[in-house]
Every structure is written in structure tokens, then in C-alpha cells.
Amino acid sequence: MRAPSRYLESADGTRIAYRVTGEGRPIVLANGLSTSDFFWQPLISRWLPRFRVITWDYKGHGESDPARTDFGTRISSLADDMRRVMDVTGTEKAVVLGFSMGCQVVLEAWRGHRERIAALGLVLGPAGRLFDTALRPLVGPSIQRLFRHVPAPWLPPVFGVAHRMARLPGSMTMGRWMRLYGRAAGNADLARYVEHFGRLDPRTLARIALQGGEHDARDVLPTIDVPTLVVTGDKDVFAPPRTVGLPIHAAIPGSRLLRLGEGTHLGLVEQAEPIGRAIEGLLADAGWR
């Protein structure tokens, strides 16, 4: 069962929702852009008997309020939100895992407060410039230009149209055809995401997406000296192995690599078993038993 949300105040005054589930050594999870912790649930369920799992919603996502300032949408600000969550939960040090854009967040956390991180897991996400490698060479940059140039008053109706389209019959089949996710992703998982998408704050999401498209933490990769796992999927059109996962693995000394031959961007739910085993190896490397 999902824990009830608690709340704290971000540096810019935005109310942030966070949740703590279970007991034991702490694991902190950073979500992907436009998601909450539901994609982590298959893994959270297997960790709960032994670990304390801490999650939070980015500004404008889930139960967190819309960002009060543009400064609050920077990747460094999201990493500071994670630090505040760790502070308020009494978490001195944790194994930190990021999914999709969450990889940028945890790498920025490493830049700012590495002493709080016992190990890193980078799951199906980039180290920098979110849209440079996503959805083929032309599509990703086009999305970034859209977020940059669409006037703020237009964003709610644009997102409303996207939400209605996602609810149309056949939209899930279309998503599988486009390789956004595979056959192993259940309709219930996808429906949960669509429902969550309809509650996002469009202006905040657009600003975070733009910041993610301009943020780059690749310079910190060679400095990482804690156990690190890189997960990449051969069928991931958002974070392809050749341009994302494999270069990250090569740049982090001694990192482990899990390469999923059938892995799409929804590997967290589609291939929870191999990802879970690999993360448990990471936890053992960190002494998290």
C-alpha cells in the first residue's frame, strides 16, 4: 500500500509532497519527468521487507504544488529538493536511484552533496541534455523548441488535447507500435500514467522539461567513486544505449552495466525482475543489507 504523503517547503517556497515506506536502510528514488512513483511500485514491493523507501513528487507533479519560481524548476533545484527530503526524514546517507530524467537529478545531487550518497543507480536515463538523444535526432530537439516557444497561456489547452488523445481507444496500441513501451507493459500501468498526466501542472512541467533539455551532468561522471549501476535498454527510444547508457557506463570508473535486450523506456514495470536483481547487487556493494 502506498504511504500517505507528507509535505515540506522547497527553497522557493513550493510545497513538496514526499512519502516514506518500510523500515531499514534508506533508498531514495528520483522519478522521471511527468511521472510519480507508480513505475517504481514493482520494485518497492520487493524491497519493503528490508528497506526504507523514500519518494517525492517533483514540483507540479502528483501531490506537489506548481513551482512558485522558474529557479525552482532547475535540475539543481530538484536535486536540492531531494536533499531537503533526506534532511526532513533523518536520512544521513542513502542509496539513490534515478529513472529517466531522474538520472540527471541524482547526478546533480552527486555534484552538490556526494557525501550523502552511498551508491547510485542510473536507470534508463541520460546524464545530460534530455532531448538531444530522445525519440530520434529530430524529434527530441523539436520537443525542446516547443517547450521554449509555446506561450505559457497556451500550455494548459495543449496538454489538455494531449491528455484526451492519450485516452482515445487504440492509443495504447499506437504507443506500442511507436516502441514507447513494449507488450509487457500492462494496460493498468499505462492507464495510471494517463490519469496522472491529466493532473500535471503544464507550466511547471514545461519549465522542468526545458531545464532538463539544457542541463548537463556528464562532467561529474568520472568523479563518481561509489558503487554505481547503469541500466540501459536496447529498445529504449528515449535513452538509446549507444548514445546514452553505454557512454555513461564507460565514463564512470568501475560501474556495473545491465543491458536489457528487450528493454524499452518502461523497463521498470516490464522487466522489474532483472532490474531488481541488479539493484540488489548494487545494494550489497554499498553494504545495504
Domains and CATH numbers, the chain: 6-285 (3.40.50.1820)
Supply the pLDDT for residue 283.
97
Question: Residues of 238-249 as b/e, b for ≥16 C-beta within 10 angstroms?
Answer: bbbbeebbebbb
- Cβ(203)–Cβ(31) under 8 Å? no
Q: Per this entry, what is the length of the chain?
A: 289
In 3D space, the residue among 19, 268, 26 whose CA is nearest the CA of residue 124 turns out to be: 268
Q: Which helix (H) or strand (E) holds 260?
A: strand 256-260
pLDDT one-digit tens code per residue, 220-235: 999 999 999 999 999 9
Supply the pLDDT for residue 195.
82
pLDDT one-digit tens code per residue, 39-96: 999 999 999 889 999 999 999 999 999 999 999 999 999 999 999 999 999 999 999 9
Supply the pLDDT for residue 93.
97
Q: Is the pLDDT of residue 189 over 60?
A: yes
- Of the pLDDT bands very low, low, confident and very high (cuts 50, 70, 90), residue 184 is low
Q: Is the pLDDT of residue 153 over 60?
A: yes
CA distance to 36, 237, 246, 262, per residue, from 84 (Å): 18, 33, 31, 36
Q: What is the pTM of this model?
A: 0.91
Among the ranges given (50-54, 157-161, 284-288), the one the predictor scored with the smallest mean pLDDT: 157-161
Q: Is the pLDDT of residue 183 over 70?
A: no
Q: Is the pLDDT of residue 178 over 60?
A: no
- Angle among Cα 216, 223, 11 to the nearest 5 degrees reads 55
Q: What is the mean pLDDT of residues 178-189?
A: 64
> For the CA atoms of the chain, what is the radius of gyration?
18
